[in-house]
Amino acid sequence: MTTDDALLRLVGVHKHFPVQIGALLSRGHEFVHAVDGVDLQVRRGETLGLVGETGCGKSTLARSIARLYDVTSGSVWFDGRDITRLSRRAMRPLRREIQVIFQDPYGSLNPRRRVGSIIGDPFAIHGVASGARRKKQVQELMELVGLNPEHYNRFPAEFSGGQRQRIGVARALALRPKLVICDEPVSALDVSIQAQIINLLADLQDEFDLTYVFISHDLSVVRHVSDRIAVMYLGKIVETAPTPQLFEAPRHPYTRALLSALPVPDPEEWSLQAMCERDAEGRYTALLDLLQLCTDAAYKLSDDLVARYFTHSGEARHSVGG
């Protein structure tokens, strides 16, 4: 295979987490297949949207890409190089090129450190710049993401949610990465602020030729930012398509369920109407059944484990309805 224009390539990536089942003596291990065989390519300069619902494995996949997790099997290729089994030491220079922006602008910044030193961390860790030069670079970054450089010495608590997310963006961009993984970067923000951050990310992409993997559960946001979208369900990518195509002609039933469940902010387009109509026998139309099926399956995945846990400990029987 050529390395051509794919900056990132995932081949059959699995990530399993052990889950303890049963009492102390009869302890055994079961595995949650959080990522269950993912093949994916991300081209240079594009934004790949990764959508899916709670527990589908999208964040685990993101962390596997950034090598914050070691994958169970499969391989991760970055810039034409297999990075799956690189040692910590060999991985270090690559960490400059793959950065992550996290969802929670409150949890991802150390509240006891000043903003200047938080954004300056990447420089310190990689020994890139120090002293006055570092301060100057940090202030340039702050300006770039729309923060006042004079606020260099403030603490995170003195900033609003949107401004904190800008701090997270500045930190991620400090070392001019090639790939930025945005893990629900705007989910915690109000719509008016959300739009500011989405615009900022778009501007930075143009300016620095960034490649984004944009993870979100919000289809309207993903639709807006992505060139291509991958839909993830139960640890697998069920459909990948260019954005317009995915919305016009979704092929997988889960994608269809996801799209039809999205409440459209337009009263003329009553998106939930289809599911409120009954057929001659008074049953709801197929869409509602489909939604129910999808959530039941997603729930059972983890639920079976819970159920077995209870049977082992003699606590209770358990059934998932339906």
Partner 1 sequence: MPSLLSVRDLHVSFDTSDGVVQAVRGLSFDVRRGDTLAIVGESGSGKSVATQTITGLTRGARISGEALFDGIDLLSAEPATLRRIRGARIGMIFQDPLSSLHPYYRVGWQIVEMIQAHDQEISKRDARGRAAELLSLVGIPQASKRIDDYPHQFSGGMRQRVMIAMAMALNPELLIADEPTTALDVTVQAQVLHVMRNLQQQFGTAIILITHDLGVVAQTADHVVVMYAGSAMERARRREIFYRHHNPYTEGLLLSLPAQGEAGERLTPIKGTPPSLIDLPPGCPFAPRCPYVFDRCRVETPPLDDVFRDPFHQSACWLSADEATRERQRAALKATGTS
Q: How far apart are CA 119 and CA 124, in angstroms?
A: 10
Overall size of the chain counted in residues: 322
User: Is residue 221 a contact residue for partner 1 (CB under 8 A)?
Assistant: yes
Question: Are 47 and 227 a contacting pair, CB within 8 Å?
Answer: yes
Binding pattern to partner 1, positions 3-42, x when CB under 8 A?
Answer: ----------------------------------------
Q: How far apart are CA 270 and CA 16, in angstroms?
A: 40
Which of 17, 275, 285, 312 contacts partner 1 by CB under 8 A? 275
User: Is residue 321 a contact residue for partner 1 (CB under 8 A)?
Assistant: yes
Question: Are 228 and 243 a contacting pair, CB within 8 Å?
Answer: yes
User: Is residue 301 a contact residue for partner 1 (CB under 8 A)?
Assistant: no
Residues 138-157 that bind partner 1 (CB under 8 A): none
User: Is residue 295 a contact residue for partner 1 (CB under 8 A)?
Assistant: yes
How far apart are CB 43 and partner 1 at their closest, in Å? 16
Stretch that binds partner 1, among 37-45, 86-94, 147-155, 272-280 (CB under 8 A): 272-280
Beta strands in 138-285 (DSSP E): 179-183, 211-216, 228-233, 236-242
Q: Percentages helix, strand, coil for the chain, rounded to the nearest 5?
A: 40, 25, 35
Which of 150, 248, 266, 281 contacts partner 1 by CB under 8 A? 266
Report the 10 Å Cβ neighbour count for 14: 17
Stretch that binds partner 1, among 25-33, 59-67, 177-185, 190-198 (CB under 8 A): 190-198
Which of 20, 199, 245, 313 contacts partner 1 by CB under 8 A? 199
Question: Are 48 and 230 a contacting pair, CB within 8 Å?
Answer: yes
Q: How far apart are CA 237 and CA 253, in angstroms?
A: 13
Q: Which residues have C-beta within 8 Å of that of residue 272, sequence separation ≥ 6?
A: 261, 263
Question: Are 72 and 12 a contacting pair, CB within 8 Å?
Answer: no
**Which two tokens mark 277?**
């109509």
Stretch that binds partner 1, among 13-21, 134-142, 177-185, 194-202 (CB under 8 A): 194-202
Q: Of the two residues 75 and 196, which places its CB atom closer to partner 1 in the complex?
A: 196
User: Is residue 276 a contact residue for partner 1 (CB under 8 A)?
Assistant: yes
Which of 23, 124, 157, 306 contacts partner 1 by CB under 8 A? 306
Binding pattern to partner 1, positions 228-247, x when CB under 8 A?
Answer: ---------------xx---
Residues 246-265 that bind partner 1 (CB under 8 A): 257-258, 260-265
| Amino acid code (one letter) for 121 | D
Which of 8, 94, 119, 288 contacts partner 1 by CB under 8 A? 288
Q: Of the two residues 61 and 189, which places its CB atom closer to partner 1 in the complex?
A: 189
- Contacts by 117-121 with C-beta closer than 8 Å and gap 24+? 118/156, 118/167, 118/171, 119/167, 119/170, 119/171, 119/174, 120/174, 121/171, 121/174
Site of interaction with partner 1 (CB under 8 A) = 53-54, 160-163, 190-196, 198-199, 202, 217, 219-221, 223-226, 243-244, 257-258, 260-267, 269-272, 275-276, 288, 291-292, 294-295, 299, 303, 306, 316, 318-319, 321-322
